[in-house]
Structures are given as C-alpha cells and as structure tokens.
A and B are shown apart, each in its own frame.
Chain A
Amino acid sequence: QVQLVQSGAEVKKPGASVKVSCKASGYTFTTYGISWVRQAPGQGLEWMGWISAYNGNTNFAQKLQGRVTMTTDTSTSTAYMELRSLRSDDTAVYYCARSVELLPPYFDSWGQGTLVTVSS
C-alpha cells in the first residue's frame, strides 16, 4: 500500500532553516508528484508547492517564493522540503502528499505530518 513517512518534529530559532523529508513506498515514485501542505495551529490547510518526482520541476506558492526549496532523491524515493529564514508564523504541521495530476491535482495519500516549531 502507498505510504509516505515523514521525518520527526523540529524546533528551530527564528532565521534558521528546516529540512523535512518524506519517504515514499508502495508505488513507482517517479510517476507522481509530491505536494507540500502546511497547517498552523488551529488553522486550515495551506498549499505550499509541488515537485515532479519525474523531472524535478517545481511550482511554489507566491508567498513562499525565495524561501522554499523542494527536491527529490529518486534513488531512495524521498522528497525534501527546505524552508529558510524561519519566522514564528511558520510554526505549523507540514505534510507531504502524493499528487495525482489533474487541474487541480488532488492529494490521494498523505504523510503523517511533521511539527515544526519556530521559537526563540
């Protein structure tokens, strides 16, 4: 069965960077994209961006442009999301999700989430 397993919780200081991993199994990694979605405490879902696991093409939410990088390692079927210059309002649970490519894509399998806390 499809599984996405994310790295563990992180605590970072303002201005630092965080890199979250998402290891996929149960399907051919390169035939789907991976999207990243975050959820601040008590808030709704926010789409952050997408990466094609086939060719590495990316598409990011405008508000995160310049601060976010998404990469994949096809040898280990792992996707990564790095967020730089962290601020307190970046405190959230970060999810990776497998993207089925329609317009808009839908997210049919999700990781368990990674809590990133930004605090001085």
Chain B
Amino acid sequence: QSVLTQPPSVSGAPGQRVTISCTGSSSNIGAGYDVHWYQQLPGTAPKLLIYGNSNRPSGVPDRFSGSKSGTSASLAITGLQAEDEADYYCQSYDSSLSAHYVFGTGTKVTVL
C-alpha cells in the first residue's frame, strides 16, 4: 500500500470541476518534496500532467491545475470533458522508504 493516499474514484458531469487529493505525511509531501501528477488513459502509458506541484508541461490544457499545502496535494480539473476519463496518479519522494520515489494509490475519474 502506498504512503500517498488518493480517493479511489471521483466523478462529475461534463463542464463541472473535480478535485483529486493526494494525502501524505511529514516524511514526504509535508517535508517539502515536490508532487507530480500523471494521467493514464485506458490501455495506454501514463502521461505527465503536472510537475513541481503546479507546473503544466507544454501541451497540457490549462483546465488542469495542481496545488500543494501541508501534507497534501491536489489536482483540479475544470470544465470536465469526456476525454478526461482516466486514472490519475500523484508522485513524490518519501524519506522513510527504501523505494524513495512513490506513486499515489490512483484515482479513477468518471465523466457522467
């Protein structure tokens, strides 16, 4: 089980805003380590969505935004679209783990 906990699923109607939380602790997010986010469409490789807590790579729509506060981080999707239906993972570093680089448990976003 990952040290970064995400809700298993979130859903919203087209056009709505949804948020995905990534809850950690004082040995990872709370220690100041950056959080990155990935989108994984069904049957495909993950794709970088947000890096360094809130930065979007070129080509990622500004409907996606990231933030971090305390021991948690969040990914927000505004103006939800059908093509946003996917799994989303946060990623950070944990100083208490030998694995060091850890992914969150993953969240399935469903567009109603």
A and B: real partners?
yes
Q: Which of A43-87 contact B (CB under 8 A)?
A: 44-47, 50, 59, 61-63, 65
Complex-state Cα separation, A106 to B91, whole angstroms? 8
CB pair A45 B106 closer than 8 Å: yes
Residues in B neighbouring A97, C-beta threshold 8 A: 46
Number of A residues contacting the other chain (C-beta, 8 Å)?
27
Interface presence of A112 (CB below 8 A)? yes
| 30 A-B contact pairs sorted by A residue (CB < 8 Å) | A35-B101, A44-B89, A44-B105, A45-B89, A46-B103, A47-B101, A47-B102, A59-B100, A61-B100, A62-B97, A62-B98, A63-B98, A63-B99, A65-B98, A95-B46, A102-B34, A103-B93, A104-B91, A104-B92, A104-B93, A104-B100, A104-B101, A105-B101, A106-B34, A106-B36, A106-B52, A106-B91, A107-B48, A108-B48, A108-B51
Chain A residues within 8 Å of B, Cβ to Cβ: 35, 37, 44-47, 50, 59, 61-63, 65, 95, 97, 100, 102-113
Interfacial chain A residues near B100, Cβ < 8 Å: 47, 59, 61, 104
Query: Once bound together, how far apart are the Cα atoms of A18 and B45, in whole Å?
Result: 20
B45 touching A100 by the CB < 8 A rule? no
CA distance A112 to B34 in the complex (A): 26
| Residue ranges of B at the interface with A (Cβ–Cβ < 8 Å) | 2, 33-34, 36, 38, 40, 45-48, 51-52, 57, 89, 91-93, 97-106
A99 to B106, CA, bound (A): 20
Residues of B near A46 (CB, < 8 A) are 103
Chain B residues in 8 Å Cβ range of A37: 46, 103
What is the distance, in angstroms, from B57's C-beta to the closest C-beta of chain A?
Answer: 6
Closest to B102 in A: A47
- Look across to chain B and name the residue whose beta carbon is closest to the beta carbon of A105: B101
User: Do A103 and B57 contact each other (CB < 8 Å), given the known contacts A62-B99, A95-B45, A111-B45?
Assistant: no
**Nearest CB in chain B: distance from A21 CB, A:** 16
Assembly CA distance A89 to B111 (angstroms): 32
Decide: B51 and A100 in contact? CB cutoff 8 A: yes
